[in-house]
Structure 1
Amino acid sequence: MDLVPFFSKLKFGEEKLPLGGFLSGFFGGLSGNQGALRTAFLIKAGLSKEAFIGTAVVVSTFVDFTRLSVYATNVSQSGIGDNIQLVVCATASAIAGAFLGNKLLKKVTLKFLQVVVAIMLILISVALGAGFL
Structure 2
Amino acid sequence: MEYILIPIVALLASALTFFSGFGLGTLLLPALALFFPVDVAIALTAIVHFLNNAFKFVLVKKHIVWKIVLQFGLPALLFSFLGALLLDKITYATIIAEYTINNSVFQITIMKSIVAILLIFFALFELLPKLKNLQFPEKYLPIGGILSGFFGGLSGHQGALRSAFLTKVGLSKEAFIATGVSIACLIDISRISVYFTNISKVKDNLNINLVIIATLAAFIGVYIGNKLIKKITINTVQKIVALMIIVFAIALGFGIV
Q: Deviations over 1:42-84 (max 9, x none)?
A: 0001111111101111011111122222223343313573454
Corresponding residue of 2:147: 23
| Higher Cα Rg, which structure | 2
SS in 2 for 1:73: helix
Which of 215, 224, 229 is equivalent to 1:100?
Answer: 224
The structure, 1 or 2, with the larger RCO (C-alpha pairs under 8 Å, 6+ apart) is: 2
| One-letter code aligned to 2:201 | Q
TM-aligned CA deviation for residue 89 of structure 1: 4.8
Structure 2 unaligned regions, length at least 5? 1-123
Provide the C-alpha distance between the structure 2 equivalents of 1:6 and 1:46, rounded to a whole number of angstroms: 16
Corresponding residue of 2:183: 59
Which is further off, 67-76 or 5-14? 67-76
Corresponding residue of 1:118: 242
Query: With structure 2 as the length reference, what TM-score do the two structures score?
Result: 0.47
| One-letter code aligned to 1:96 | I
Structure 1 unaligned regions, length at least 5? none
Which of 173, 184, 201 is equivalent to 1:77?
Answer: 201
Question: Higher strand share goes to which structure?
Answer: 2
Structure 1 residue 47 and structure 2 residue 171: aligned?
yes
SS in 2 for 1:106: helix
SS in 2 for 1:27: helix
- Name the CA shift for 1:42/1:68 in 2 (closer, same or farther; >3 Å): same
| One-letter code aligned to 1:46 | G
- Of all paired residues, the percent bearing the same amino acid is 53
Which is further off, 94-103 or 74-83? 74-83
- Name the CA shift for 1:105/1:32 in 2 (closer, same or farther; >3 Å): same
TM-aligned CA deviation for residue 100 of structure 1: 1.4
Corresponding residue of 2:89: none
Which is further off, 30-39 or 89-98? 89-98
Question: What's the RMSD between the two structures over aligned residues?
Answer: 2.1
Q: Is the 8 A contact 1:12 1:45 kept in 2?
A: yes
Q: Deviations over 1:17-51 (max 9, x none)?
A: 22222222122322321100000000001111111
Which is further off, 94-103 or 42-51? 94-103
SS in 1 for 2:231: coil
